Amino acid sequence: MHKFAIGVLGASGYAGRELCELVARHPAARLAFATASDRQGTRARFGGTETTFVAVEDAKLGEAQLVFSALPHGASAQWVDAAHDAGAKVVDLSADLRPGNGGSAESAEGFALAMARAPYGLTEHARDIVRSAEIVANPGCYPTVTLLALLPLVVRGLVAPGATITVNAASGVTGAGFTPKRELMFAEVADDFRPYSMGNSHRHLAEMRAVLASLGCDVDLIFTPHLLPVARGILATITVPLAEPLADVLAPWREHYAGEPFIEVSAEIPSLKDVVHRNVVRITATMAEGVRTPTVIVVAAIDNLVKGAAGQALQNANLLLGLEETLGLPV
């Protein structure tokens, strides 16, 4: 099979390493280069093959048909442009080009502007736009799990207008990156659990609000992330006030995602174990008993490094390259 040349910018973090691993094992791709400015010249094995990290400045952008950028927020946009100018298609895993970030407002207009520059690659929601794009803004991990859980309710107009949706999410520590910090050391995280970015201060909120606004959904979000003593996985527990009770509670998800290869809707409660190392979202929903406002509780789980980062990025890359969407993706 022909192998596309793929470059990875920012390959030494958790998402970057996951990308390199997926590319190296992909049946129609090969790792053309991997940059890691702080490890320049060191070697790493991905999928059984050795690679030598180069500095981002030394990456031969022109030799890649597609480039992933897993560079830090703020540092990525310029390299996305450089790779694109060099002739590559690009999937940007940073927040730089996502709606609600950078210059774009958290509004329907802001969303349209951001999409015009780089479609927001929530693949199941934007498959056709992604397919014909040159640059894709890959969603954040929390927005991926939250938006995929909410979309079936939102597009069907089932959410109570003006309601407050409460999102409590918990993530493994790889979501916090690979830069050594005291609060991420083993003895600090083990046996512990805590929220952070309380009071709606997490930067991923803008992205979620912008997407909901683009769909004309009139709701408020309260989003509280938590840090779990696990390496991988995100689970979100979402409470949604509805206009009407749902007779068949899973029906909106089953209909909306019929035939989707990476979305598993089930009456079983998902757990991190069901999704780690897989490019899937697992979703369940239950009506809350004993409350006057009809309310559905939706639970969704993903691997933050796969469906929440590198896996979804590769899913988008497959579309950009005209390949089968599921190729090389772990289910």
Active site residues: 141
Q: Binding of its own copies at residue 251 (CB under 8 A)?
A: no
Q: Binding of its own copies at residue 291 (CB under 8 A)?
A: yes
CB contact at 8 A, 312 and 139: yes
Q: Binding of its own copies at residue 201 (CB under 8 A)?
A: yes
- Residues 161-200 interacting with its own copies (rule: CB under 8 A): 162, 164, 166, 168, 170, 172-174, 178, 180-182, 184-196, 198-200
- For its own copies, the binding residue among 158, 287, 321, 327 (CB under 8 A) is 287
| Main-chain phi, psi angles of 83, to 5 degrees | -65, -40
- Residues 93-132 interacting with its own copies (rule: CB under 8 A): none
Of 135 and 159, nearer to its own copies (C-beta) is 159
What DSSP letter does each residue of 111-130 carry, written as one string? HHHHHHHS-B--HHHHHHHH
Of 139 and 233, nearer to its own copies (C-beta) is 233
Give the count of beta carbons closer than 10 Å to the beta carbon of residue 62: 11
Count Cβ neighbours within 10 Å for each residue of 104-117 and write b for 16 or more, e otherwise: bbbebebbeebbee
Task: Report the distance separating Cα 328 and Cα 318, nearest Å.
Answer: 9
Smallest separation (angstroms) from its own copies to the CB of 191: 5
Beta strands 164-171; 234-241: pairing state: antiparallel
Q: Binding of its own copies at residue 284 (CB under 8 A)?
A: yes
CB contact at 8 A, 43 and 62: no
Smallest separation (angstroms) from its own copies to the CB of 192: 5
CB contact at 8 A, 225 and 125: no
Count Cβ neighbours within 10 Å for each residue of 246-278 and write b for 16 or more, e otherwise: beebbebbeebbeebebbbbeeeebebebbbeb
Q: Binding of its own copies at residue 48 (CB under 8 A)?
A: yes
What DSSP letter does each residue of 62-87 carry, written as one string? GG-SEEEE-PPTTTSHHHHHHHHHTT
Task: Please count the CA atoms within 13 angstroms of the CA of 249 that sit on its side-chain side.
Answer: 17
Given the rule CB under 8 A, which of 55-63, 108-116, 153-161, 292-300 is the region that contacts its own copies? 292-300
For the record, the structure tokens of 260 come out as 């989707």
- For its own copies, the binding residue among 84, 286, 321, 326 (CB under 8 A) is 286
For the record, the structure tokens of 233 come out as 């996985």
Smallest separation (angstroms) from its own copies to the CB of 118: 25
Instruction: Count the residues of the shown chain that bind its own copies, applying the rule CB under 8 A.
Output: 67
Q: Binding of its own copies at residue 246 (CB under 8 A)?
A: no
CB contact at 8 A, 99 and 75: no
Given the rule CB under 8 A, which of 73-81, 149-157, 293-301, 316-324 is the region that contacts its own copies? 293-301
- For its own copies, the binding residue among 90, 147, 211, 272 (CB under 8 A) is 272
Smallest separation (angstroms) from its own copies to the CB of 63: 28
Task: Report the distance separating Cα 227 and Cα 114, nearest Å.
Answer: 30
Q: Binding of its own copies at residue 237 (CB under 8 A)?
A: yes
Smallest separation (angstroms) from its own copies to the CB of 250: 13
**Binding residues vs its own copies (CB under 8 A):** 14, 48, 162, 164, 166, 168, 170, 172-174, 178, 180-182, 184-196, 198-201, 205, 220-222, 224, 226, 228-233, 235, 237, 239, 241, 269-273, 276, 284, 286-293, 295, 297, 299, 301, 331
